[in-house]
Structure formats: C-alpha cells, structure tokens
Amino acid sequence: MKVLVLFGLVAFALAEVTRFEGEKVLRLKPVLDEHVTLIRELADSIELDFWSPDSAELVTIDIDVDIHVPAAFLELASTRLQQSDMEVEVLIEDLQSSIDAQTGPTPRTHSYTKYNSWPRVQSWIDAISTSNSQLISKQSIGSTYEGRPMTLLKLGKKSSTTKPAIFLDCGIHAREWISPAFCQWFVKEALSTYGSDSQMTSLLDQMDVYVLPVFNIDGYDYTHKSNRMWRKTRSRNSGTSCLGTDPNRNWNAGWCTTGASKNPCSDTYCGSRFESEIEVKNVADFIRRNKSNIKAYLTIHSYSQLVLFPYSYTYQLAAHHSELLKVAQGAASALRSLYGTRYTSGPGAATIYPAAGGSDDWAYDLGVKYSFTFELRDTGRYGFLLPESQIKPTCMETMLAVKYIAAYVQKNL
Ligand code: ARG
Ligand code: ZN
C-alpha cells in the first residue's frame, strides 16, 4: 500500500507539466540605446524567455525583440515598459491558449501534417527505413544524454562505391517543432517522388542525403511532456540545478566568444567546453568521419524566415561569400515562387546577430562549403507555435529551397 502511494507520488512528480496561463509574448521595438538598456536590465532582474533574438545579449537597436514573460513577472515588466516610450505589441495574449490551440487531440498515429511526439517519430523511422531498402537505410550514430538512440537515415540509390552526400538535420532546438516536421516531410517526398520527379531521381541516383530527423531528442520529448518552451539539451551542469546546453552554441567554431552565455541557466549556454553535449559530439564525429563525401550541410530551425550561411562567429565574410549568397538567394526565390513567402538571406552575423558555436560555421570551417541554416515560418505571429495547418505549405515551399540547393551542389560536384 505504502509502496503504491509512493509510486503514485513519484509518477506524479515525474509527470509535472509547466503551464503558461495568462503569460504573454510581447514584441518590443527598441529604437534608442535606452530601450536596449531597459531590455537588458529587465532580462537581468526577471526571468524572460527570449523568442527572438535568442538572448538579451543579442538585443540591438532597430530589431524586433519577441519575449515571453512568465506570469509572475508580468506586472513588473508591464510597469517598466509603460514607463519607457518604447513601442510594445502583444503577439500572444495567453500563451497556454495558444499552446492548446496549436495541436488538436493527440493523434493516434504518425502524420506528416501533425506534430508527432518522439515515440511516434521513432516508430516512423523504423517503419520507413525498412519500407524501401533500395533507397533508404538507417544507422545509429550514438545515443542522447538520456540514452535515446540517434538514428540517421540515408537516402539514395544503393551503390557499391561511396557517393557524394548532403547532410540534413532538424530539431537542434527542442521547441522549434516545424523543423522535425520538415525532415519527416523531406524523407516522404524523396521516397515518393523518386522515379517520377526527374530532379529527385537524379539527385538520389548521384548523391546520398543523410537525414537526422530529430537532433535534440531529449529536449524534443521534454517539450511534448513537460515544458513546451524548452530549447536546450537536458544534460546536467555542475554547481547548479539548471539543466541543458544550447546545442547550437556548443560547436568548435569561435566557441563561446560572442552571442552565447557562460551561465548554465541561460537558454544560450555554450556548455562547459565545445562538444560537451553528446548529441553534438555524435553528429560532429559522423561528419568528420565522412567529411570527404559530405558536400553540403543543411540545418533547419524556426522561426524568422531566413536562409543563413557563415559566418555567425565573426563579421568577416566567408571565403566563398558571393557564391553562398547567390545560392541562398536562389533558394529563397525558389521558396517564394510557391506561395509568395518572403525569406531574407545573408551571413548569420550581419543578417541577424553574431552568435558563435553554431553547427553551420563549424561544418563550413571543416571544409563543407555549402553550409546553410534555415529559419522556417513564420515571422512572429505564432512563432514556435505555428499551427498544424501550416505544416504542409511550409514543408512544400521549403522543399523547393532545399531541392534548389541540392541541384546546385550536384551541378558543381
Ligand atoms: N537562431 C539560430 C541560433 O541562434 C541561428 C543560427 C545561425 N547560425 C549560427 N551559427 N549562429 O541558433
Ligand atoms: Zn533554433
């Protein structure tokens, strides 16, 4: 009896869910130095959850600053903001209602037009990788911090020799749910259009595409079960109860020099050293092992509608800047041709903000010339809570951009 009660309590504690009743997402428009200072001060004194840019250090004049203000701090934040003359817009009135509205009732099966939980994605990976053995296979590249297997899908016509390849990952950041949805869509489209779409056929004949459907699996699972707004990994940090490292600040590319935090409680914590995160180490090891074949590295995030390329850790232009800009712009116009969705392209540091330790810069410096970060829909109306009705159009237009880059890489092998 006692054991049962205890078990129930433990289960209850484990099942604890963070709720966001009455919490708002605000868009601040700093146009003066005082505004920037105020935002930084607020961030120091209260717990602000930065949606865009990723942290207080990245706030500058003339950029939109989207922040989620936890209920406990809403009063204080509103008072301080009203005292200033900065323009403030309410993007989301009640975060919990928006979260509830984003997904319908939990689907019973995997669906390409829904946000699938990790167990659903995992069984989808197992099913799809055995469905068409001429075109797809899976391999493990290691486990996550919490022990979940990281499975990489390899798409491409079987060949006796090693083919040049493209590496595509999704879900580096846990709360950017549209990203894993895109990787799943990409795999489905690749398999179902091979043989009928001439570009996809020639791509998979000549090249392999490695797809990592969810990079930060522990974080992704946590956003489904406990805290929808989680961004980082779920690893322990010494000397604090704050968990996780930003897996896009943990790479050996100007590691932790700019746009990243040394505070383990921050959402942009760079980690105790580069590759401290096992997920980052696993992917970096795989790309290093295969670096002579990997010709392009594509990583999918949200939101902001951007096609970014190196560098983000410095304002210096990449050696292949003009070519990368041309390819990014080509990808953005291919994307726009479908529904008119506008994307901005450019090097990370100058286009959004300097932020070191990212996977795109690391891959580029390793020698993978065509290295791009996508920030998918939208521009802030829903932010991370993009409705499921937008999964299909977002994925369809993004396919055009990714296929544009793939075709370019293929032509320039
Ligand atoms: N919002 C993304 C992030 O902060 C942008 C990544 C751009 N690349 C970079 N190396 N910072 O992770
Ligand atoms: Zn991201």
Helices 33-45 and 71-83 pack at an angle, to 10 degrees, of 160
Distance CA 238, CA 264 (A): 9
3 state DSSP class of 227 = coil
Residue of 50, 245, 312 to test ligand 1 pocket, by largest number of atoms within 8 Å of CB: 312
Quote the ligand 2 centre to 83 CA distance (angstroms).
Answer: 32
Rg (CA), the chain: 21
> Which pair of tokens denotes residue 142?
């290691």
**Mean pLDDT score across all residues of the chain:** 94
Pairing between β-strand 294-302 and β-strand 370-376 as defined by DSSP bridges:
parallel
Q: Is 360 in the pocket of ligand 1 (CB under 6 A)?
A: yes
Residue range 22-73, pLDDT digits in tens: 999 999 999 999 998 989 998 888 888 999 999 888 999 989 999 999 888 8
* Closest C-alpha residue for ligand 1 atom 2: 301
Using 50 as the pLDDT threshold, list the residues of the chain that sit under it: 1-2, 4, 9
Task: Provide the ipTM.
Answer: 0.97
Contacts with 266 (C-beta within 8 Å, 6 or more apart), sequence order: 55, 246
> Which pair of tokens denotes residue 356?
């070191």
Q: Is 355 in the pocket of ligand 1 (CB under 6 A)?
A: yes
Q: What are the C-alpha distances in Å from 32 to residues 28, 29, 37, 354?
A: 12, 9, 9, 20
pLDDT at 1: 45
Q: Is 270 in the pocket of ligand 1 (CB under 6 A)?
A: no
Quote the ligand 2 centre to 205 CA distance (angstroms).
Answer: 31
pTM of the model: 0.94
pLDDT at 10: 52
Q: Is 184 in the pocket of ligand 1 (CB under 6 A)?
A: no
Quote the ligand 2 centre to 51 CA distance (angstroms).
Answer: 10
pLDDT at 245: 98
The verdict on whether 34 is a catalytic residue reads: no
> Which pair of tokens denotes residue 253?
């590319």
Q: Is 301 in the pocket of ligand 1 (CB under 6 A)?
A: yes
> Which pair of tokens denotes residue 213?
């459907």
Q: Which residues crowd ion ligand 2, with CB under 5 Å?
A: 173, 301
Q: Note whether 254 and 358 are within 8 A (CB).
A: no
Residue range 268-310, pLDDT digits in tens: 999 999 999 999 999 999 999 999 999 999 999 999 999 999 9
3 state DSSP class of 272 = coil
Contacts with 294 (C-beta within 8 Å, 6 or more apart), sequence order: 164, 165, 166, 167, 210, 287, 363, 368
Distance CA 69, CA 399 (A): 34
Distance CA 189, CA 197 (A): 10
The one-letter code for the residue type at 275 is: E
Residue range 378-392, pLDDT digits in tens: 999 999 999 999 999
Residue of 256, 261, 373, 377 to test ligand 1 pocket, by largest number of atoms within 8 Å of CB: 373
Quote the ligand 2 centre to 303 CA distance (angstroms).
Answer: 8
